[in-house]
Amino acid sequence: MKAPSIHGWLIALLMTAGILGLRAVDPAAQTASPTSPSGAPRREAEMNPAAKPADDDRKAQIKAIDEKIKALRDQFRAQADPLEAQLKALREKLDADLKPLDDQRKALIEQGKSPAMIALDQEEASKLASLADREKAELEKVKQRFEDERKEIKQDFQKRRQELGKK
């Protein structure tokens, strides 16, 4: 009868020694509180070892999706670039053929105008060019203002992410 009793005590002693040995190796396992030894809250992966493989799996899925997106974009570019090059060549050829004809047409129209009409057309063109310059300057100001606001928003959210990461 004494043999089973000694056997039971031996198993209990080995189990206790094993648990204590594990706790000495992993100091984070010594506390059940949700804070780390520094007092900062523990991350889910530190508190729940099963969360680490799930996080790794999620990261692997994100990486796989990123690779698929890149492959599809590369495939699109590979197919679209030759077509865009053909369109550009066609457009340049057409523009080269049209320019002399367009210039000839404008010259014939100008020949039929009175000097007063030519002066009026030149004044109109000058005012439209001035307006276009003002428009361009105003658009640049607006674009810059929105770019500055966009930069401020991104900086604000980056700061908030960093603060949230410290918690």
**Amino acid found at 79:** Q
pLDDT at residue 50 in the model: 61
pLDDT at 39: 52
Residue 8: its pLDDT value, please?
A: 63
37 has a pLDDT exceeding 90: no
Domain that holds residue 63: 43-112
Q: Give residue for tokens 């030759």.
A: 82
- Number of folded domains in the chain? 1
- Is residue 31 pLDDT above 60, yes or no? no
Q: Does residue 166 sit within a domain?
A: no
Does residue 19 register a pLDDT over 60?
no
Cα–Cα distance, 145 to 74 (Å, whole number): 34
Output the CA torsion 17→20→22→26 (10° steps).
-170
Decide if 138 is inside a domain: no
b (16+ CB within 10 A) / e for 104-131: eeeeeeeeeeeeeeeeeeeeeeeeeeee
Query: Is the residue at 101 inside a domain?
Result: yes
Mean pLDDT computed over every residue of the chain: 82
pLDDT for 46-98, tens place per residue?
556 666 778 899 999 999 999 999 999 999 999 999 999 999 999 999 999 99
Residues 61 and 79 sit within 8 Å (Cβ to Cβ): no
